Amino acid sequence: MHSTNEPGGIWDRQAGQAAVETAIIVPMMVFIVLGIIQLGMVHHARLMTEYAVYRAVRSGIVNHGDCTLMERSALAGLLPTLAPLSGSDGMGSRIDKLDQAMRFHSRYTTRLLTTRNNFYSAGPLPLLRVEVVNPRRSDLDELFGTYGAHMEEREIDYDDTRDERVVEANLLSVRLTYFYELRIPFANWQLHSFYMGREYLDQLKGYPFANQRVQGGSATQYLLDRGAERDQDHARIARVARGSPGKYVIPLVATWSMRMQSNLLNNDQHGPGRCAVDG
């Protein structure tokens, strides 16, 4: 009969059991803690996306639906959620002072102007996308031809009330898609894979998730591949995750509408034409 202090005794068996339990529980606890932090940051980014699209629309209604100004206004609203840019001046992403916020915004604006649709180069994927969902691009030519004829088809009176069609056209509706980068290590790739393959999570059973094999590959890879099939944006998000280690992006979408307070311009650079979508 073994004593409690001899090798293979009760205490040794209990210590071994405790080590196994710790090995199982600690990763789960780490993921839960980091996941809570990451989910909190995502929720914050979601709220700021709502605020940013409001800012974009507010800028658009008083500036003739100018796409460039709406993009810059949306960017200003997203400042608290943005990551430091490489090669910065050492200030990182601090925006607690006005001059710091202005410099940070300026650096991002410069980056967006040079990489408008290729911010995440492995994608290519933009940082944000401002889309005018009303008025629609397919309607613009006829709208300007009908309701802007007295202005040589260059603009539409924002207070034109001749019929319901022009009244509806003067309601500016904008959709903002913010491709938010998850930034908490470990939690980012886990949550990203859950997001990408959320419709297929019921096919994965048991623990540990990271060690499961599905169709010859990891569970993470399986969820990423299935999510990439959803649409073009998700395919690009998957390419970013594969091509840039540590870059895990999810889209946050918000829409806002306001009545125009300046005339819509028939100009792709300064009107809604460049970012209008077909309906």
- Residue 17 token pair: 């059991």
Distance from C-alpha of 279 to C-alpha of 272, rounded to nearest angstrom: 14
pLDDT recorded at residue 4: 52
Let me know if 264 is exposed, middle or buried by CB neighbors in 10 A (0-12, 13-18, 19+): buried
- Residue 68 token pair: 């460039």
Domain map (residue ranges) of the chain: 10-138+171-265
pTM for the model stands at: 0.85
Terminal alpha carbon distance of the chain:
81
Scanning the structure block, which residue is given the tokens 């894979």? 193
Task: For 110-157, write each residue's pLDDT tens digit.
Answer: 888 788 788 988 888 999 999 999 999 989 889 999 999 988 889 999
Task: Describe the chain by its helix, strand, coil percentages, rounded to 5.
Answer: 50, 15, 35
Instruction: Please name every residue paired with 251 in a beta bridge, in sequence order, or none if there are none.
Output: 179
Distance from C-alpha of 65 to C-alpha of 267, rounded to nearest angstrom: 10
Task: For 202-229, write each residue's pLDDT tens digit.
Answer: 777 654 555 566 665 677 888 888 899 9
Phi, psi of 14 (to 5 degrees): -65, -40
**63-96 burial by CB neighbour count: b if 16+ within 10 A, else e?**
bbbbbbbbbbbbbbbbbebbeeeeeeeeeebebe
Cα 120–194–31 angle (5° rounding)?
100
3-state SS class at 21: helix
**120-137 burial by CB neighbour count: b if 16+ within 10 A, else e?**
bebbebbbbbbbbbbbbb
Residues of the chain falling short of pLDDT 70? 1-17, 86-93, 205-217, 279
**152-178 burial by CB neighbour count: b if 16+ within 10 A, else e?**
eeebbbbebeeeeebeebbebbbbbbb
- Residue 135 token pair: 């008025």
Tell me the chain's radius of gyration from C-alpha atoms. 25
pLDDT recorded at residue 100: 85
Alpha helices in the chain (DSSP H): 10-61, 67-78, 98-114, 137-147, 164-169, 187-196, 219-228, 232-243
pLDDT recorded at residue 231: 93
pLDDT recorded at residue 254: 98
- Residue 195 token pair: 């997001």
Distance from C-alpha of 167 to C-alpha of 115, rounded to nearest angstrom: 36
pLDDT recorded at residue 171: 96
Distance from C-alpha of 115 to C-alpha of 122, rounded to nearest angstrom: 12
pLDDT recorded at residue 253: 98
pLDDT recorded at residue 29: 83
